[in-house]
A and B are shown apart, each in its own frame.
Chain A
């Protein structure tokens, strides 16, 4: 466990192998969602999160890693279902469709909480786009693609799912994780839009 935390990917892989069968057995997806969400979907994102976030795990007893992993998995599952449930409701008031004249990158940053500093969103659009684009480069490819297709190109969930070859539930899950990751990568808002007139 310690080696995994310190960055030994082989050690981490070994831990995941040990934990996977138990985790698979314990994950349970409600019948309602089984056609659009698969245990494999959840596991895949969970494993990826494990790689990305292992540095934040604090080793404890023998079962501590499994416990940590299970929490990640449950988190993913919850986000997937949240996304699926939201998709079934009438269109929400807050839409991710970029209002006319607004860049979707700005909207995304909005969503992530980077809204207050700029005097003019339009002026910042180009910069925001570049920033988001470069940040996406730092994301795992799955995450980056979902963000591009869903958030930046405003494609429907089903379309995104089809394009990436994943289920709708997986896409929601990926998006949730991708947003978190993106926020981590971009950093505090003060790094942007700091121009003064």
Chain B
């Protein structure tokens, strides 16, 4: 820049400054500005507000003037209604058309009057009098911050001199910071309401007798001289700034009001803190205006300890006696960054770092030194490091992520270097950086396991906090390293999955898929991998449609591959099977699982894990389809394989045990079922501590207890399962619906029908958001709800629901227990409705199916129901043929619920009554 240009710029600056000074005068005294005398200066003109004590303003009695400043005059007054003392600030004449100014002012005051914070001077009222705006606020008896600090300092020095001990001096910094914490909190509270102060300085922060700071005049700087619609001119009015310029931010000094935001206040807080600690301003603020502006905009602040030693304006050595350490200085300097982006973004962030400093924790501002972070963490966790590997992992992980942060900071620091320097440095460092980044990635991958560990148990939640917190920071700095980002996304996706944070897991996998497409091409095998993983996360979230879409896409890629050495197709087939099973398409699921098993069996040994999972899932599907034997065979194989490969105490083994237990329960081997589930639960607790897998095992056990009539034992189990699910799954997740339904069953058994119906209705609604009305789960829950209503004797309501379920089942061509169970239940309702012919039609298939399955108490129950139907139809012989053996069998059955037994006996008794043999009926009722 040439000297001529520079002079011209300075001239412009000076002319503009002069113009604004002139405008300030014009605004207040239009005539006077051009030389006329100001008649309002006549002493005896009492029309101006508060010219003397005793002057009254509507509702207030003015006692006297307290302070006169650049913006206006502050009076002390008494509010007549409440007799409390208030302060009234009268601004200098408002410029421009009165109506628009007033509206702006009133709007602003309205916002400010809602600003309630113990450290903010509250505004209570406002108005206009004699052409001037005024507002009424708390009266604060106190002194400006800088004077208070000075006073405290002198008192400490005096005490130290008297006692000969310097211990009091060391507390000085802490005391100052505690006051600043409150100030930051107050400013932050205002920021949250969209109010920027713009003029933070000691005069606007009064400290009362109790040492409490009170911040005043938020956001009102603009009303001192701004014309409506005009950019805040106080930024460039040198006169206005005479008191405020030293505290102003670079953007204010530059006269760019559009850049003023909350970070402007953060800067001012930095200056205040600097001044409090050093007794000086961060840079020279005396001298010609352009130089001062230049210093504010461009000069680096002096080191606080250096500034502290210089004599202050008042000729005494200011600053804290004990000096400040690196950390505190770092906090202050972060506020004073010229670039707003590099400051604390909010006063709350500043406050939090001050708190961390006071608590001797690692501060945010210093996070770009990983040695620092480690030292801080080790210091804090000294005992824990020795004792806990998990905590060590947190520290190491924090370290790794700090490395990234540090690298980013390095890069930013490098921005100031010359082109040449940068090029040289980059050349030298690029290889080293890649190595380091690689090492970090390897470390993270090692910590979270390899990509095959999909059913790997999740580590503890502490790591989740760290991972979540640092992930964003890491990725902000990876825009030019997609390969590293890809690997990290994959690892993080898995990590979050294992931590049951499926939302973040899906996000990371989705990004991974995108990166794979970009870097490797849309048909690359890794894209299929990523899609599979994304599908798994979606599945876990209950987004079945989304999961299916991902898997189908993956399958297309797999099937298009020339050769499949890693047998990815098997994975995809398996995954697709899982999702279509979840969608209720069991036959398709069975087919997919069988295909997957076939592929896995042909695959290399390391893929055998997939085989295990596929077999387990196929077994479940078969079980539900009533193919018990094949299912049991598969599960027992899977269990052997799991025990051999993973050991007894592994989540995968637990999973097989759980599935096998369900089958055993259905086939009346409850004891073995319970044992297996208890083992599974214990394993899962050890590994995961919680999570949806544990919830599933718990629900399975709860169901067994329930079916065995051990209701009291089942309820807490269902409740725990529900709590575990709610902790990690989104509300409305199908698994939560299932748990609610189970609890509904418990409530129903306790005859709390209304509550039961509520739970079941909630469960049904949740499921309907995920599945169509024909989904088996929906049907099941609908039936359950209907049954509850039935028990409530709301037979007609119940019947409607059962009919709906059945209708859906028939439309879908459903067969097997799902259908017959549903029919049976509707048939039961029809009996209550005395529509026996329909009941018979409904119960006949159920009866036939029951005869073919292994005989349980339910078989007898169904027979008993049919007997009742036949009884109702008057076909007594046929009825007797069913009722008598059913009652006897039920009575003899150890598993049969008592009510079912009693019902069967009652039906038999009614048969004999129908036959006219009351005596026999009575005997039957008596238990003979």
Contact = CB atoms under 8 A, between A and B. Distances in A.
Contacts of A137: 28-29, 92
Most buried by B among A13, A44, A161, A192: A44
A35 to B, nearest CB: 10
A139 B771 CA distance: 77
A21 B292 contact: no
A56 interface: yes
A166 B35 contact: no
A56 B287 CA distance: 31
B33 interface: yes
B292 A165 contact: yes
Contacts of B29: 137-138
Contacts of B70: 141, 145
Contacts of A192: 43
A73 to B, nearest CB: 12
Given A20-B15, A131-B43, A141 B288 contact: no
Contact of A165 (B15, B68, B289): B289
B283 to A, nearest CB: 12
A138 to B, nearest CB: 4
Contacts of B37: 184-187
B7 A9 contact: no
Interface string A16-50: 11001100100000000000001011011001101
A162 interface: yes
Given A135-B41, A165-B246, A50 B18 contact: yes
A55 B25 contact: no
Contacts of B25: 52, 138-140
B289 A40 contact: yes
B290 interface: yes
Nearest to A144: B239
B38 A141 contact: no
B829 to A, nearest CB: 89
Given A133-B68, A144-B239, A167 B11 contact: no
A134 interface: yes
Given A185-B38, A185-B41, A186-B41, A141 B239 contact: yes
Interface in B282-314: 285-290, 292, 313-314
Contacts of B40: 134
A50 to B, nearest CB: 7
B72 to A, nearest CB: 9
Contacts of A133: 68
B11 A165 contact: no
B347 to A, nearest CB: 26
Contacts of B696: none
A54 to B, nearest CB: 8
A142 B238 contact: yes
Most buried by A among B17, B18, B32, B38: B18
Most buried by A among B4, B21, B40: B21
B288 A140 contact: no
Interface in B792-840: none
Nearest to B29: A138
Interface residues on A, range: 35 or more
B18 A47 contact: yes
A185 to B, nearest CB: 6
Contacts of B48: 134
Contacts of A167: 286-288
B41 A21 contact: no
A48 B32 contact: no
Interface string B27-68: 011001111011011110000100110000000000000001
B242 interface: yes
B321 to A, nearest CB: 23
A164 interface: yes
A51 interface: yes
Nearest to A149: B242
A159 interface: yes
A120 to B, nearest CB: 15
A138 B285 contact: no
B195 interface: no
A170 B286 CA distance: 11
B17 A44 contact: yes
Contacts of A20: 8, 11, 14-15
Contacts of A163: 242, 313
Nearest to A146: B242
Interface string B572-611: 0000000000000000000000000000000000000000
B313 A162 contact: yes
Contacts of A164: 242
B237 interface: yes
A191 interface: yes
B240 interface: yes
A46 B569 CA distance: 85
B42 A138 contact: no
Interface in A149-197: 159, 161-167, 170, 184-187, 191-192
A64 interface: no
A162 B286 contact: yes
A51 B11 contact: no
Interface string A107-128: 0000000000000000000010
A131 to B, nearest CB: 6
A16 B43 contact: no
B208 to A, nearest CB: 24
Nearest to A16: B15
B146 to A, nearest CB: 12
Nearest to A164: B242
A2 interface: no
Contact of B43 (A7, A130, A170): A130
A138 B38 contact: yes
A56 B33 CA distance: 12
Contact of A141 (B24, B52, B68, B314): B24
Given A130-B52, A145-B242, A165-B242, A44 B14 contact: yes
B19 interface: yes
Contacts of A50: 18
B65 to A, nearest CB: 9
B239 A142 contact: yes
A65 B782 CA distance: 95
A38 B288 contact: yes
B62 to A, nearest CB: 13
B22 interface: yes
B672 interface: no
Contact of B239 (A52, A145, A170): A145
A20 B4 CA distance: 12
B875 to A, nearest CB: 109
B284 to A, nearest CB: 9
Given A134-B40, A138-B25, A47 B35 contact: no
A163 to B, nearest CB: 8
A44 B22 contact: no
Nearest to A12: B19
B289 A134 contact: no
A166 B41 contact: no
Nearest to B16: A13
A159 B19 CA distance: 26
Contacts of B286: 161-162, 165-167
B10 A134 contact: no
Q: Return the 7 tightest CB-CB contacts between A and B, nearest first.
A: A141-B239, A47-B18, A51-B22, A20-B11, A140-B21, A187-B37, A48-B18
6 contacts: A40-B10, A52-B25, A52-B33, A130-B52, A145-B70, A166-B287
Given A55-B34, A134-B40, 8 more contacts: A21-B8, A44-B238, A51-B21, A131-B43, A134-B38, A141-B242, A145-B70, A186-B37
Interface of B: 4, 7-8, 10-12, 14-15, 17-19, 21-25, 28-29, 32-35, 37-38, 40-43, 48, 51-52, 68, 70, 92, 237-240, 242-243, 245-246, 285-290, 292, 313-314
Interface of A: 7, 9, 13, 16-17, 20-21, 24, 38, 40-41, 43-44, 47-48, 50-53, 55-56, 127, 130-131, 133-135, 137-145, 159, 161-167, 170, 184-187, 191-192
